[in-house]
Amino acid sequence: MTVDIGVIGAGGMAERHTDNFDAVGARLAGVCSRSEESARELAEAHGATAYPDAETLFDAADLDAVLVTVPPFAHDDYELRAAERGVDFFVEKPLGLSREAARERRDAVAANDLVTQVGHQFRYADVVERAHELLADRTLAQVEGRWVDAVSPLPWWSREAESGGQLVEQSAHVFDLVRDFAGEAADVAAVGGHRVVDDVDFADSSVVAMRHDSGVVSHVTSTSASPEKDVSLELVAEDCRLELDLVSHTLDGTVDGESVHVEGDDRPYEKELDAFVTAVETDDPSLPRSPYADALRTFELTLDATDGLAVA
């Protein structure tokens, strides 16, 4: 079976995902975008049709699923339209800018028993999978996450009203992994600074500390003031310390006194899409590792952290 997917939004993330369609048994059934030119170019590259808007795409194309890859400020009600029509969907993070709107979409997904996947691709990274295996039943003590980077070149990214800020739009990937390993956060404390980067209207550096229901403590460091990129996770557990580099896709550490080194491949985007397509084919909402309801918890955690930032 080939899964026919409509795409809403025709930017870089749409291109990244559609480039993997053939590998996972999917076909581009149609595209719409705020940019008609971008929609036309993406459609032509895959022998598909460009539509003027999402409503026309839903009405005219015979869709098994839809892929929503729009900026945070442009989410509109695409996911609700899909849910009302019983169409499974994959949506890129973040889930928008509104907590209330995201909760409404979650409820619509549950009411219609949809297959969903949210683009937290690191859950499919080889080094993350291996870290779970190495931790096994060990008692986890601490998780430290980092997203250290420069300002994104995307024109809307620097404005909190359009992106949600760094924690919501970017460091969400790290918060999601912290949740993946440590569970839900019970207490959150955040501090931030805005001393270096004039191009953003939110904190250019922040630290968020958390205590989880599991008893694990964690913190996430974020900055857009660095000339070098570091996206990583450190896990400390009983007789175990692991360092995951999510840029180079490597894992290093010590387990029971022995050094470990893992080199992963760079295929998490393909693997998360493959899991979604398989779930659509088999009508099994339990297969995706980041379904909408779970990703909403990450989204709300980043909103809580952003709301709590005391910026100096």
- Going from N- to C-terminal start, the domains of the chain cover 3-119+269-290, 122-266+299-311
| Two structure tokens written together for 65 | 């699923």
- Is beta strand 26-32 parallel, antiparallel or unpaired with respect to 3-8? parallel
Q: CATH assignment of 122-266+299-311, given 3.40.605.10, 3.30.360.10, 3.40.50.720, 3.30.70.270?
A: 3.30.360.10
Is there a common fold for 3-119+269-290 and 122-266+299-311? no
Per-residue model confidence as pLDDT tens for the chain (312 residues): 799 999 999 999 999 999 999 999 999 999 999 999 999 999 999 999 999 999 999 999 899 999 999 999 999 899 999 999 999 999 999 999 999 999 999 999 999 999 999 999 999 999 999 999 999 999 999 999 999 999 999 999 999 999 999 999 999 999 999 999 999 999 999 999 999 999 999 999 999 999 999 999 999 999 999 999 999 999 999 999 999 999 999 999 999 999 999 999 989 999 999 999 999 999 999 999 999 999 999 999 999 999 988 665
65 in Cβ contact with 279 (< 8 Å): no
Q: Is the peptide bond before 94 cis (omega within 30 degrees of 0)?
A: yes
* CATH code of the region 3-119+269-290: 3.40.50.720
Beta strands in 33-172 (DSSP E): 65-68, 88-91, 116-118, 140-148
Q: Please state, as a whole number, how many other Cβ atoms lie within 10 Å of the Cβ of residue 144.
A: 17
End-to-end CA distance of the chain: 55
Q: Distance between CA atoms of 122 and 24, rounded to whole angstroms?
A: 18
pTM: 0.96
